[in-house]
Amino acid sequence: MTRKSSAPGTQKVQRVQTGVRLEKRLLKVLKGLAEYHDLTLGDLLEGIVLYAFEGKVPFSEENLDRIKDLKKIYELDLTSEDSHKLTE
């Protein structure tokens, strides 16, 4: 449940700690992107999910270029086709 805060345009939320497991290289790319934007990993993930829930693209062309660079650096070769098909 969210509550409006006193500051205009902001909403007060309750955050919880979670133990989500992610593919190692994917996490490195996400952390790199969060660092680039001076965000926490949690803030970045919240933004991505909120955009996705509305069917919106969360990244500009500039961000997609940055992600492409980070994927090269961290050797992330996974694509959306690999989603739900990963094993350990």
Predicted confidence (pLDDT) per residue in 6-26, tens digit:
577 889 999 999 999 999 999
Q: Which of the four pLDDT bands, split at 50, 70 and 90, describes residue 1? A: very low
Task: Say how far apart CA 45 and CA 52 lie, in whole Å.
Answer: 10
Q: What is the pTM of this model?
A: 0.85
Torsion of CA 53, 56, 58, 62, to 10 degrees: 170
Question: Average pLDDT for residues 21-42, to the nearest whole number?
Answer: 97
Q: Note the pLDDT of residue 9.
A: 82
Predicted confidence (pLDDT) per residue in 48-73, tens digit:
999 999 999 999 999 999 999 999 99
Q: Note the pLDDT of residue 5.
A: 52
